Amino acid sequence: MSPLRVLVLGGTSEARALAAALERDPAVDVTSSLAGRVASPALPEGRTRVGGFGGAQGLARWLQQEGVDQLVDATHPFAARISASAAAAARSTGVPLLVLRRPGWEPKPGDRWHHVDSLAGAAQALPPLGSRIFLTTGRQGLDAFAGLHDLWFLVRTIDPPAPPVPPAMQLVLDRGPYAEESERALMRRHRVDVLVTKNSGGGATAPKLDAARSLGLPVVMVRRPPLPEGVLVLDSVEAVLDRVARRTRRQPG
């Protein structure tokens, strides 16, 4: 039998772990695709393509041209546009789609979370909560905070953001994983009194939540966007590998 051709839409640690496991399976021919939004991305093992497909239609054409048997959306939980394109391309081509999403963070005793549905909602929630903000939502969407002239922002991103950005801002270029002790020291050094983050889940950046809890700081937590209807969502690399193994044995599901 010819190898099962798998396309992994990646960019996350889970996508890299999945690609590494599939690369070792002789029954699978895997390609990882990265959107190309980070200048120096952490590359997965095996064959990799970088750059967009041109929306759902472009992805559908690529799936058909390359004879892909299985599509896996292992993108960031906030990559809503890519997930929508993946679902539409899977429907139009009949290529089975699996969505790999790490579980979101849940509040623990002592947490002071304020849930919002968007970055604009986060900006609106900030003024009553504090004046020195640790903003860890990534380099895209900083324009939502550009009108907050009375607040100071510590902004951490992997690559430099493009304007508009908050007018009073100190930029830190860094990439996780982080440790609670260093996160707490960073917040103390800059006298942070509010943390803003997206509910990305995972362990690499969770220490900032532990640090905020230990310092008694409020956290503005942006909820995840909803996934497209009807997609099969799995919460671990192992679960995806099990599904792919069924396909390589030509079993249903």
- For residues 119 and 208, state if they share a domain: yes
Helix %, strand %, coil % for the chain, to 5?
A: 30, 25, 45
The answer as to whether 108 is a domain residue is no
How does pLDDT run across 98-117, given as a tens digit for each residue? Answer: 999 999 999 999 999 999 99
What's the average model confidence in pLDDT over 133-157? 97
How does pLDDT run across 167-216, given as a tens digit for each residue? Answer: 999 999 999 899 999 999 999 999 999 999 999 999 999 999 999 999 99
DSSP secondary structure letter of residue 102: P
User: Which structural domain range is residue 146 located in?
Assistant: 113-222
Element (DSSP H or E) covering residue 114 = strand 113-116
- For residues 148 and 65, state if they share a domain: no
CATH assignment of the domain containing 152 = 3.40.50
The secondary structure of 154-204, three-state, reads: EEEECCCCCCCCCCCEEEEECCCCCCHHHHHHHHHHCCCCEEEEECCCCCC
pLDDT for position 96: 98
- For residues 81 and 150, state if they share a domain: no
How does pLDDT run across 22-60, given as a tens digit for each residue? Answer: 999 999 999 999 987 777 778 899 999 999 999 999 999
The answer as to whether 160 is a domain residue is yes
Rounded Cα distance, 45 and 20, in Å: 5
Number of C-beta neighbours around residue 96 at 10 A: 15
Q: At what angle do helices 80-93 and 55-65 cross, to 10 degrees?
A: 50
How does pLDDT run across 148-171, given as a tens digit for each residue? Answer: 999 999 999 999 999 999 999 999
Residues 6+ apart with CB under 8 A from 147: 123
Domain count, the chain: 2
CATH assignment of the domain containing 18 = 3.40.50.720
Beta bridge partners of 6: 30, 70
3-state SS class at 208: helix
Number of C-beta neighbours around residue 219 at 10 A: 21
The answer as to whether 210 is a domain residue is yes
- For residues 65 and 138, state if they share a domain: no
pLDDT for position 250: 60
pLDDT for position 253: 53
DSSP secondary structure letter of residue 38: S
The answer as to whether 130 is a domain residue is yes
